[in-house]
Structure 1
């Protein structure tokens, strides 16, 4: 829990009455951002005002300000938290002037519609009191680190969403999960990342409040303080976008690289690829309202489009983000790219053979893009206790990883939290994270309880349609005009035949041989008159993660169960005797 966030949220008590609890965030969030930027601007404020008087052109002014302060943004107002309160009657107008005079790239307050809130606060007689409270907080990065500021923002958002009965998980990802994702994303590139003066790009299409981008940068700079990581992101929630953009502005990043909008329908970085991509997309979110635009793009883009491999069910769009990220990986000839994405279990197995999800898995595996999948502990996220998985993809795998996928069961590596945060009551401690990262690095089957390495074709299967003859009233098979047996649709059945049946290592090329072997051994002995309709054979791929790590637990002996039942019966009889007395 963030102590700073708790303190800032306590200021919201001043809003009680004119504001309902689910409206507190409309005031608290933008004022927290404003105070953070205000503290950063304060040391150079007079110098910037002097430059503003000298240069009228915004671009020229921006360049001159950056030369003097090193910052990509500025504010030319005569007001700040230092003197806003000196003019009690003009506070609302002066605060609006302060917001208006930020450099054009600081558009974050527009997404809160904060000027409307300023007028509402003034009308309720609360503006001076709230501004006074925020003036008392020093939010300069030298006092409040970026990590602590991020924790504070996330605490405030969680409180805001709890009051509004919304899901906080839609806006940010727990820091412990992000750290594991970052560790795995950079794992095979750690040596390269220590090179002097390296420049790399990182992209998050569901940026939220920017937690993933921030922690990834911290990871890289811890390894190589001279490295530069250019951060790109897109976010569709206006408040999260505003926080993300202001946070990166405060750290000196180019704010134009953080875009507002829906990534699936309006890719803000179309045509651009990245060294690293990461995301925690929304799970189980319906994309019906965007289906027309997505299907249109798929048709127009052809085989090289981002959604070409297939489309998931419109009830769950997370695999669309998966495809989008793969499309954003830097081409192998340009150095390649890596992807880290957190998803629930659905993308592992949903959809029958040749359905959209199955075709997406088929493409990913046949293109040898999936490096590893890690099962996370349950109850890791704030708004759900369901199973979640980290997928790591790479389009230039290390030689020993080519043609295979590593599955890691990390469900038992967790630490109990002292206090629950929504559905989250478990976290990945440093030791837990280190164990999972070590399993990934060791890349072995030596500890099959936690790590398994499987060939890509071990996830493939064929769905075959087994037919049986239709019989007439006299019990004779019915044939069509060409003399072929007519099938009895009521007795029609389907079977899934693994590529690996009978120990085959031929993969998809073993189709006829393997299916016939399966049919002869598993079907024919039971229904001798059956046959395979080869025209209906379909190819599918699934990743049955749980099955690979299934541990058989034998049932208790019957005598032990009987003894327990007798004890319970005895207790019930004793209770009945007490009632009868």
Structure 2
């Protein structure tokens, strides 16, 4: 990523919001930033095969839509494609820049989006981006916004697959914070995700078997962070494993970003369902009639409340900072003996994190150097307060005179 972190790239993208000030409130910035980031990433991914895709389309125009889609996906190398002869960046051979015709930028941008494959068009619909195009055009900021995004390099050579997922997550987090919503409603910190995935998959004994297939289902997938970390965890243990990712979410923006992320990774984005899980379980049963794996709901342990309670307790102990404490142990006393004598009788399930143990000397400075100074008399304090009140009254008279 040329030395830049995902937070720096996300920060650079979010700085484009300066162009939105006035026509947009802060809590509306993400309505523009998220879909344009997706479009720009897709364009960068499709750039090497774009002409080949257009040539292939000319040769299969008379074929059925299903055949066209399969052939064009094969040529593009992704589960999506674009047949437009427009792009964000400057014009080239047989392709024109969206910025070449400022007066028709809005209809041209809509045309550019409509030339994507149906799955990408569905994403843009959930982003409700056509409304934002019309609004930016009306406020005369569309050209500058598209120009700014044309300078954002999201090519895979610069931003790899996993880093791009981090960028998505960071943009979602910033957007949630700026809209005064609970960030956790849309964004779960990656450290928490890793913990939950570790708890879920640690008991699995077959992850190192050749070509093992694991099905992971997140019923409230948000932007797909848990699905991504679960896949990464499995593939680190077994590069030949085949994790199948399924997700469901009711939030339009979160669903759109998750589906975008799945497309970028080459996953089957059709496995990301836009439904309310409480009302409709989109993956109640798989093809063999088996219930799918759920994040936080391990297979074959669904009916074991004690196991679920243990997972919840362990998870809470790791993440609740209020449960942590420190002890000062005399230098000549064994830490283990002190722990058994002074701590365990009061907190039976406590444990020691030896990585945080420090050995040193404590110098009680207060005991040796502190000198007590009694407070001033109440009459003196009251006199100071009256003097300040008098100054305030005088200032108010000057203002109201």
TM range (shorter): 0.7 to 0.9
Per-residue CA deviations over 1:78-133 (Å, capped at 9, x if unaligned) read 22223222222222111101111222222111011101111111121111111111
Show the counterpart of 2:17.
Answer: 12
Structure 1 residue aligned with 2:57: 52
Shift of 1:412: 6.4
1:64 aligns with 2:71: yes
> Which whole-Å CA distance do the structure 1 matches of 2:55 and 2:282 have between them?
35
Structure 2 residue 249 is the aligned partner of structure 1 residue 244 = no
Q: Does 1:32 align with 2:47?
A: no
Q: 1:129 aligns with which of 141, 144, 152?
A: 144
Give RMSD over aligned pairs.
Answer: 3.3
2:372 aligned with 1:365 = no
Q: Does 1:277 align with 2:217?
A: no
1:232 matched residue in structure 2: 246
SS where residue 232 of structure 2 aligns? helix
Cα distance per residue 1:490-547 (max 9 Å; x no partner): xxxxxxxxxxxxxxxxxxxxxxxxxxxxxxxxxxxxxxxxxxxxxxxxxxxxxxxx97
CA distance in 2: counterparts of 1:580 and 1:87, whole angstroms: 74
Deviations 1:313-363 (A, max 9, x none): xxxxxxxxxxxx57xx4xxxxxx4x68xxxxxxxxxxxxxxxxxxxxxxx6
Mapped pair 1:263 → 2:263: no
- Give the CA deviation at 1:577: 7.6
Deviations 1:277-296 (A, max 9, x none): 215xxxxxxxxxxxxxxxxx
The residue aligned with 1:519 is none
C-alpha separation in 2, matches of 1:108 and 1:188? 36
Deviation at 1:36, TM superposition (A): 0.9
Residue 219 (structure 1) aligned to one of 233, 236, 243: 233
TM-score relative to the length of structure 1: 0.52
SS at match of 1:72: coil
Flag the structure with higher strand content.
1
Change (3 A) 1:547 1:59: farther
Question: Matches of residues 553-568 of structure 1 in structure 2 within 5 Å?
Answer: none
SS of equivalent residue, structure 2 residue 245: strand
The match for 1:167 is 182
Check the 8 A contact 1:377/1:412 in 2, yes or no: no
Report the CA distance between 1:14 and its aligned residue: 0.7
CA distance in 1, matches of 2:136, 2:19: 11
Q: Can you give the 5+ residue segments of structure 2 that lack an aligned partner in the other structure?
A: 1-5, 90-96, 327-338, 352-366, 384-401
1:202 is the counterpart of 2:240:
no
Cα displacement (A) at 1:62: 1.9
1:243 and 1:412 map into 2 onto residues whose CA distance is 39
Q: What are the residue-to-residue correspondences of 1:361-440 with 2, within 5 Å?
A: 364-365=304-305, 372=311, 373-376=313-316, 411=324
The structure with the largest helix share of the pair is: 2
**1:165 Cα offset (Å):** 1.3
Whether 1:73 and 2:80 are equivalent positions in the alignment is yes
TM-score, reference length from structure 2: 0.74
